Amino acid sequence: MYVYDSFDQKVVDERVAQFREQTERYLDGQLADEEFLPLRLQNGLYIQRHAPMLRIAIPYGLLDSTKLRKLAELTETFDKGYAHFTTRQNIQFNWPALEDVPDILAGLAQVQMHAIQTSGNCIRNTTTDQFAGVLRDEIADPRPWCELIRQWSTLHPEFAFLPRKFKIAVNGSPSSDRAAVRFHDIGLELVRNDVNELGFRVFVGGGLGRTPLVGQLIREFLPTQHLLSYLEAILRVYNLLGRRDNKYKARIKILVKALGADAFRDKVEAEWTYLKDGAATLTEAEVNRVAAHFIDPDYASLDDADALLAQQKVDNPAFAQWLSRNVHLHKKPGYAAVTLSIKKLGYAPGDCTADQMRSVAQLADEFSFGELRVSHEQNLILADVRQDRLFDLWEAAKLVGLATANIGTLSDVICCPGGDYCALANAKSIPIAESIQSRFDDLDYLYDLGDIDLNISGCMNACGHHHIGNIGILGVDKKGEEFYQVSLGGDSGQNARVGKILGPSFNADDIPDVVDKIVQVYVDHRHQDELFADTVERVGLEPFKERVYAKSH
């Protein structure tokens, strides 16, 4: 894990002190709302439906038990004892009092966390694969590159007032994109060229929101030392040409679409000629300095525990299910990466109580070198668990309600906070997630259905990634009433696709039935071992439409 040096710490501490004064002046009436607005947004503070909302960055999703315990303490002291993990590897406090925010930020600074650049028109938290650095299918660890981007982008003066917010994601596994890089303003995929040098494939102009678009490939191979200068070239072109007259057309995706990928690439390459090999070029020493923070923990030299696990699986089918759903192979023999599900029935997806945070911190200390990760699917991961301790971990996680074996299934719903918290919402989303989870609470049935991504957003801003769910649900407002539009066929991985709308929207009560019918059509049509997403791709939307909109007799 990256550890702040004295420079990082000073920047964060100074920012807390500045914001404390700014908040005091605002509360004293010396600063007007509109003067305070940019100051608070630079510190991740929104004003929401019921209270302020504070968004805290978890750089590339990496946390440790100390940070998590501090988050638990802060939610208890200053909030309602829980917080919400988002799809962007951030955590949000939904009920802080404005006057307490400086104290929250001061608490975060003690554990090297902050809320800088978590909102506003700047480069936001860079995200990555929750399994970065530990899976066998990885070309290289994306985390050092994320950290280099973090250091370069934090408080970068040239990119503090972009036309709109800007999101970068990095992925290191050629066989699987777990960071949805094609749906980011810039998506970077680590690759090797034919002489085995490491570099990046560069995608630009992906994004969700009201104009969902798949990113376009603008460079097949960018040598790693040029990473920052090339990003700088892209951002310059965007900063100069991105639209500032219309908030809804201001994202880079609109610019790339308007110019066409080829013309956009030409502009970037032209800009890059001024920057290439200049000050932003990464030296080997600099890359090594940062990479040294992401070395392997002190792994024991082990063999895979195949025999032991086979026996434990026979003895305990529920453990076997958990292994097959929540546990991933690890690059090191004898280890595994474990996903703790925070999608238990009755809890809003992404919500995590202070008690749960402490439990996870304890599990991380006991089983995974004190570290953990947050996934964009809103779950928590212990990445370095000994295989011979998986059973103990499962038992311990069960006791605290974190062992639901539903990862990747229909009940592992991604969901935004929606109308319960968010001022922009057209409809509630959490109760929809709950109604689907309670309809599909039979694990055996879920296993039979296999992997299905179900994503829910409360409005077209798409915070819950509904466009890229295999099943997507979007809250819409019709003359003051809440309705839900369903789409099918979205995919966030290498076959990136935006889902297609099924047809007219439904009211909330109908949604579990609608999902049920969609699932039945899949079961009727699937070939053996065919995944839901592949069946939808093969048979198209018609059979689903027919069943869902069939007139009842």
Residues that bind ligand SF4 (CB under 6 A): 416-418, 422, 424-425, 457-459, 461-464
Beta carbons within 8 Å of 207's beta carbon, 6+ residues apart: 167, 183, 184, 185, 213, 215, 251, 252, 253
Spatial contact of 415 and 348, defined as CB atoms under 8 Å apart: yes
The interface with ligand HEM within residues 483-512 (CB under 6 A) comprises none
What is the residue type of 460?
Answer: M
Q: Which residue is nearest to ligand HEM (CB)?
A: 209
Q: Which stretch binds ligand HEM (CB under 6 A): 16-24, 83-91, 107-115, 260-268?
A: 83-91
Give φ, ψ of 22 to 5 degrees.
-60, -40
Half-sphere exposure of 56 (CA within 13 A, CB side): 31
The CA distance from 170 to 149, in Å, is 10
CB of 430 to ligand SF4, least distance (A): 10
Choose the contact partner of 48 out of ligand SF4, ligand HEM, none; CB within 5 to 8 A by kind: ligand HEM
Site string for ligand HEM, 346-365 (x = CB under 6 A): ----x---------------
Instruction: Return the residue of 42, 43, 87, 118 that touches ligand HEM, per CB under 6 A.
Output: 87
CB of 271 to ligand HEM, least distance (A): 23
Residue 422 binds to ligand HEM (criterion: CB under 6 A): yes
Choose the contact partner of 242 out of ligand HEM, ligand SF4, none; CB within 5 to 8 A by kind: none
* Rounded-to-5 percentages of helix, strand, coil across the chain: 45, 20, 40
- Of 387 and 485, which CB lies nearer to ligand HEM in the complex structure? 485
User: Which three-class secondary structure string do you get for 458-499?
Assistant: CCCCCCCCHHHCCEEEEEEEECCEEEEEEEECCECCCCCECC
The CA distance from 207 to 215, in Å, is 7
CB of 464 to ligand SF4, least distance (A): 6
CB of 422 to ligand HEM, least distance (A): 4
Residue 104 binds to ligand HEM (criterion: CB under 6 A): no
Residue 251 binds to ligand HEM (criterion: CB under 6 A): yes
Spatial contact of 135 and 128, defined as CB atoms under 8 Å apart: no
- Of 457 and 487, which CB lies nearer to ligand SF4 in the complex structure? 457
The CA distance from 243 to 254, in Å, is 8
Residue 416 binds to ligand HEM (criterion: CB under 6 A): yes
- Of 371 and 482, which CB lies nearer to ligand SF4 in the complex structure? 482
Instruction: Return the residue of 15, 40, 67, 88 that touches ligand HEM, per CB under 6 A.
Output: 88
- Of 210 and 293, which CB lies nearer to ligand SF4 in the complex structure? 210
Residue 115 binds to ligand HEM (criterion: CB under 6 A): no
Half-sphere exposure of 225 (CA within 13 A, CB side): 11
Residue 201 CA, distance from chain mean position: 20
Site string for ligand HEM, 139-168 (x = CB under 6 A): -------------------------x----
Choose the contact partner of 144 out of ligand SF4, ligand HEM, none; CB within 5 to 8 A by kind: none
DSSP string, 160-197: SS-SS-B-EEEE--TT--SS-GGGSSEEEEEEE-TT--
Site string for ligand HEM, 433-472 (x = CB under 6 A): ----------------------------xxxxx-------
Residue 353 CA, distance from chain mean position: 19
Residues that bind ligand HEM (CB under 6 A): 46, 48, 53, 84, 86-88, 92, 164, 183, 207-209, 251, 350, 416-417, 421-422, 424, 461-465
